[in-house]
């Protein structure tokens, strides 16, 4: 029986999330010959429409937004070398507190077991040894990110795959340095970071840091591929050089491990090769 290939699966909520939180690992591991699978749960209906029209604008048309965002998502995947893009096809729920949170077809309102079964089928198909998604708070409280966390855990419970599960993370200790670097460049720190001293992940929880410096340019290019959302992608203000300086690594919290690999790690596949 042929040995199954090393496979990384990233479970994200919207088009463009893959670039921000995991663009580095998707590109790095693709370069190493690892099969990379991106699962995107929603179509991003509540992103900006052409011309920067916000979802509450009367001319915001989801039938225009969706094909554009999915085209940009595929372009991002091409830049990152993603082996396969899988779309669950749920409706974007919007930010916490938006009226669209209550839509019956919103991802946030989808029964966890239903979406988890779809994801479990993909896990059975690709048999990833490593899966990456958000923490229980969706990193910053976005309903669709929280739902992605929930369905990932339910899918793992259903199918018993993978051997390792990680949450994306940003070390809290880096937030001060991040703000200082931005200030030197004349860029204002995002309000959610500036106003929340608890933003980020406590350093002691981080188990894994991956050096992605050699692919930081591709990570930036994958963000730029989502051109229609440029107003919402803070990191594009930084330019590629500054972005590479501060975003040259990606951090994670290991929450499931069946390998016995010790932490801290510098490889998501430690214990698997």
Q: Give 137-206 as a DSSP string.
A: THHHH-HHHHHHHHHHHHHHHHH---SEEEEEE-BTTHHHHHHHHHHHTT-PPPHHHHT-TT-SB-GGG-
Length of the chain: 273
Q: Rounded to whole angstroms, how far apart are CA atoms 133 and 153?
A: 10
Computed over every residue of the chain, the mean pLDDT equals 94
Report pLDDT digits (tens) over 80-113.
Answer: 999 999 999 999 999 999 999 999 999 999 999 9
Give residues with Cβ within 8 angstroms of 197, minimum separation 6.
Answer: none
Q: What is the mean pLDDT of each run of 10 residues along the chain (273 residues)?
A: 84 96 97 98 96 94 97 98 98 94 94 98 98 93 96 98 97 83 83 74 96 96 95 87 90 97 97 95
Q: How far apart, in whole angstroms, are the C-alpha atoms of residue 46 and residue 179?
A: 29
Residue 1 has what pLDDT?
44
- Closest of 116, 92, 78 to residue 14, by C-alpha: 92
The alpha-carbon radius of gyration of the chain (Å, integer) is: 18
**270/273 Cα distance (integer angstroms):** 7
Say what the pLDDT of residue 2 is: 53
Report the C-alpha gap between 231 and 227 in whole angstroms. 9
């Amino acid at each position: 029986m042929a040995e199954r290939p090393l496979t990384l699966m990233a479970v994200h909520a919207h088009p463009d999330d893959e670039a921000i939180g995991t663009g580095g690992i998707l590109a790095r591991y693709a370069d190493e010959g690892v099969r990379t699978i991106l699962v995107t749960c929603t179509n991003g209906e509540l992103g900006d429409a052409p011309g920067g029209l916000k979802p509450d604008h009367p001319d915001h048309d989801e039938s225009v937004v969706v094909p554009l965002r999915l085209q940009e998502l595929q372009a991002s995947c091409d830049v990152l070398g993603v082996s396969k893009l899988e779309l669950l096809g749920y409706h974007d729920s919007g930010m916490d507190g938006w009226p669209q949170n209550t839509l019956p077809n919103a991802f946030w309102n989808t029964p966890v077991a239903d979406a988890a079964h779809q994801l479990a089928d993909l896990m059975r198909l690709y048999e990833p040894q490593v899966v990456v998604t958000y923490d229980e708070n969706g990193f910053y409280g976005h309903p669709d990110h929280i739902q992605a966390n929930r369905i990932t855990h339910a899918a793992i419970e259903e199918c018993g795959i993978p051997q390792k599960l990680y949450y994306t993370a940003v070390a809290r200790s880096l937030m001060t340095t991040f703000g200082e670097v931005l200030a030197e460049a004349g860029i204002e720190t995002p309000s959610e970071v500036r106003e929340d001293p608890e933003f980020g992940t406590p350093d002691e929880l981080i188990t894994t840091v991956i050096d992605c410096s050699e692919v930081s340019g591709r990570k930036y290019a994958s963000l730029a591929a989502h051109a229609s959302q440029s107003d919402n992608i803070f990191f594009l203000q930084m330019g590629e050089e500054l972005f590479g300086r501060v975003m040259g690594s990606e951090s994670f919290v290991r929450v499931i491990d069946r390998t016995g690999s010790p932490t801290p790690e510098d490889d998501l596949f430690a214990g698997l090769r």
